[in-house]
């Protein structure tokens, strides 16, 4: 890093070179982006919001669905002109999408103006790669699969001052048949709990108010470590750290979610009473084809236990519509599950075929039109359920962590309650990054509207 810093100083003098880093995809990628920016800052880069002003452009890509990839290819296509006209500009790609061999090959062959390309396993090699590009003007590509897990001790430049992402594990061993993640992120690896506790405690001491533990499947945390720990016990340890903060976590795989985890959520006052439990489908036939290892009944057992233990718990989920071979009956099973659980919100996606996955080989007779029609029906039902649920919150009082300006009006601010619902209220700029107590006066369907009351 020091060598790059000196090189940049001799090249740019007193002017600070600027980096434009844009992250697509999930929070794991956002967290990687924060480490990449941490390294770039130590190498002497400042940051800019527009690629036009940048001396280094880095797109941290995602491979989860086709549209995520199309957007990146479109963006780099549009940057060709700028790159060709500015020989000093470094154009780089990193993240999950470029870890796929067919994409790496495509970039090598069809995008010769991309200088730098590295996969999620080797982000710590960025300084060496950048040094090589800056000194030799040759392209540097590295998609080695190390399976080393989360790199420790990299500098982190966090995007926010009061909410932090904390990865507790990397990779995934589940191989859901539609999903590219296990191929691009490699095998599951947990961080030693001591490292997590140290990072967590430092964040609390720095004043962070909400810390979200990240992993593709946090419920299998601890497997393969030399210590006697699991996710429920990790939550209890973090909850015991003194301070006024909240703990969130994502994602949970229903096959590994346990009653012990639900008990921990119930017992730990700092753990938000919100459970994001991606179900994907309500049809047992489709769940088996997806290789999810649970049935609708297994899923409902978890939901019902959680509702019994934590009456005000909020559930959210991920749904895939139009998995290969999904019939109208299968889809109706999903709708019926949604009615039974009453999720507060959903992240729903139309199935997207991913090269190299098992589902890509399956027969898929359903037309795109039918899939979009199902998707619209799902959204309509989600809205109806959400609106009904939200009505029940009028009159209740919540503690919210204020994120920033709200959408309701000029003096409105917005935050989320424990259950991850958006709450707008008439507030002040100083509230941002603090907890305030709000009494709900109205449901807006997509959010709740309230009035600030004295803290209780
Ligand atoms: N590890 C997390 C999911 C990460 S991906 C988990 O298992 O819950 C986030 C979501 O993207 C998934 O839950 C799934 O709903 C969706 N997804 C993954 N692959 C997809 C594909 N090929 N097409 C459409 N949606 C997909
Ligand atoms: Fe993908 Fe399944 Fe792993 Fe989630 S658990 S990342 S959906 S393979
Ligand atoms: Fe995308 Fe990679 Fe996350 S594929 S969803 S950025 S793990």
The pLDDT tens digits for 274-287 are 999 999 999 999 99
Tokens of 92: 């780089």
* Angle of the 368-391 helix axis to the 328-341 helix axis, nearest 10: 10
Separation of first and last alpha carbons in the chain: 49
Residue 252's SS3 state is coil
CATH label, 163-391, candidates 3.80.30.20, 3.30.1490.20, 3.30.420.10, 3.90.1150.10? 3.80.30.20
The answer to whether 346 touches 361, Cβ cutoff 8 Å, is no
Please give the model's pTM, rounded to 2 decimal places.
Answer: 0.96
Report the alpha-carbon distance of residue 98 to residue 94 in Å, rounded: 6
Q: Are residues 222 and 189 in contact, defined by beta-carbon separation less than 8 angstroms?
A: no
Top-tier CATH class for 2-142: alpha beta
* Ligand 3: centre distance to CA 25 (Å): 5
From ligand 2's centre to the CA of 216, what distance in Å? 6
Considering only CA atoms, which residue is closest to atom 2 of ligand 1?
Answer: 216
Q: Quick one: CATH architecture of 397-453?
A: Beta Barrel (2.40)
Q: Which pLDDT value is given to residue 147?
A: 87
Q: 94: annotated binding-site residue?
A: no
The ligand 2 atom nearest the CA atom of 292:
2
Q: Any idea what DSSP says for residue 20?
A: E
Q: Is the CB of 65 under 6 A from ligand 3?
A: no
Token match 């491979």: residue?
63
- Using only C-alpha atoms, what is the Rg of the chain? 23
Backbone angles phi, psi at 98, to 5 degrees: -80, -5
Q: Is the CB of 36 under 6 A from ligand 3?
A: no
> At a CB cut-off of 8 Å and minimum separation 6, what does 218 contact?
168, 169, 231, 249, 250, 251, 252
Residue 304 has which token pair?
């019902």
Find out whether the peptide bond into 424 is cis, omega within 30 degrees of 0. Answer: no
Whole-angstrom distance, CA of residue 392 vs CA of residue 213:
29
Residues of the chain with pLDDT under 50: none
Residue nearest to atom 1 of ligand 1 (CA): 216
What residues contact 390, with CB distance under 8 A and at least 6 apart? 344, 421, 443, 444, 445, 448
* 182 Cβ inside 6 Å of ligand 2: yes
Cβ-contact 130, 116 below 8 angstroms = yes
Contact 433, 161 (CB under 8 A): yes
* pLDDT computed for residue 456 by the predictor: 57
What single DSSP character describes residue 316?
A: E
Domain ranges of the chain: 2-142, 163-391, 397-453
Token code pair at residue 308: 């019994």
| Beta-bridge partner residues of 317 | 346
Phi/psi of residue 398, each to 5°? -130, 150
Residue reference for tokens 């139009």: 322
**How far does residue 446's CA lie from ligand 2's centre (Å)?**
28
Q: Determine if ligand 1 sits within 6 Å of the CB of residue 280.
A: yes
> Residue 314: which H helix or E strand, with range?
strand 314-321
176 CA distance to ligand 2 centroid (A)? 6
Which among 177, 257, 252, 263 has a CA at the least distance from the CA of 215? 252
Work out the number of other CB atoms within 10 angstroms of the CB of residue 394: 14
- Residue whose CA lies nearest to ligand 2 atom number 4: 216
- In the numeric block, which tokens belong to residue 319? 């749904």
For residue 168, which of 210, 128, 206, 197 has the smallest C-alpha distance? 197
Residues in contact with 434: Cβ distance below 8 Å, sequence separation at least 6, in sequence order: 209, 401, 402
Pocket of ligand 2 contains residue 279 by CB under 6 Å: no
Taking the C-alpha atoms of residue 341 and residue 444, their distance in angstroms, rounded to an integer, is 21
Compute the distance from residue 292 Cα to the ligand 1 centre, in Å.
12
* Tokens 């995008």, located at residue: 111
Question: Residue 134 has which token pair?
Answer: 């800056």
Task: For residue 238, give every residue at least 6 positions away whose Cβ sits within 8 Å of its Cβ, in sequence order, or none.
Answer: 196, 197, 200, 211, 213, 247, 270
Angle, CA of 108, 112 and 118, to the nearest 5°: 50
CA distances (Å), 133 to each of 35, 116, 263, 404, in order? 20, 7, 52, 39
């Amino acid at each position: 890093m020091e060598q790059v810093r000196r090189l940049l100083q001799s090249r740019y003098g007193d002017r600070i070179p600027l980096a434009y880093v844009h992250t697509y995809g999930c929070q794991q990628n956002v967290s990687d982006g924060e480490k990449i920016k941490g390294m770039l800052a130590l190498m002497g880069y400042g940051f800019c919001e527009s690629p036009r002003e940048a001396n280094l452009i880095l797109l941290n890509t995602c491979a989860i669905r086709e549209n995520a990839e199309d957007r990146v290819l479109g963006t780099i296509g549009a940057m060709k002109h700028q790159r060709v006209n500015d020989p000093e500009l470094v154009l780089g790609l990193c993240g999950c999408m470029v870890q796929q061999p067919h994409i790496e090959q495509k970039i090598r062959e069809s995008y010769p103006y991309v200088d730098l390309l590295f996969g999620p396993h080797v982000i710590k090699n960025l300084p060496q790669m950048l040094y090589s590009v800056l000194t030799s003007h040759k392209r540097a590509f590295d998609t080695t699969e190390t399976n080393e897990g989360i790199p420790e001790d990299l500098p982190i430049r966090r995007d926010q001052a009061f909410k932090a992402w904390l990865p507790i594990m990397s990779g995934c061993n589940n191989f859901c048949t539609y999903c590219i993640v296990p191929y691009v992120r490699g095998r599951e690896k947990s961080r030693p709990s001591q490292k997590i506790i140290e990072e967590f405690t430092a964040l609390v001491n720095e004043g962070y108010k909400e810390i979200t533990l990240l992993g593709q499947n946090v419920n299998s945390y601890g497997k393969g470590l030399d210590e006697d720990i699991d996710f429920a016990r990790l939550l209890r340890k973090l909850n015991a750290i003194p301070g006024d903060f909240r703990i969130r976590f994502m994602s949970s795989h229903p096959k590994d979610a346990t009653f012990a985890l639900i008990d921990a959520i119930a017992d730990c006052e700092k753990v938000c009473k919100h459970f994001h439990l991606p179900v994907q489908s309500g049809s047992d036939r489709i769940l088996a084809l997806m290789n999810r290892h649970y049935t609708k009944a297994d899923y409902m057992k978890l939901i019902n236990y959680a509702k019994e233990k934590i009456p005000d718990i909020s559930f959210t989920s991920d749904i895939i519509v139009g998995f290969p071979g999904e019939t109208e009956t299968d889809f109706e099973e999903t709708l019926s599950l949604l009615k039974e659980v009453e999720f507060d919100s959903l992240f729903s996606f139309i199935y997207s075929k991913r090269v190299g996955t098992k589902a890509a080989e399956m027969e898929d007779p359903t037309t795109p039109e039918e899939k979009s029609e199902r998707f619209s029906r799902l959204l309509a039902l989600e809205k109806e359920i959400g609106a009904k649920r939200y009505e029940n919150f009028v009159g209740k009082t919540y503690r919210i962590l204020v994120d920033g300006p709200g959408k309701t009006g000029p003096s409105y601010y917005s935050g989320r309650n424990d259950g991850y619902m958006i709450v707008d209220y008439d507030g002040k700029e100083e509230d941002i990054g603090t907890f305030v107590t709000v009494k709900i006066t109205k449901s807006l369907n997509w959010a709740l509207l309230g009035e600030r009351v004295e803290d209780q």
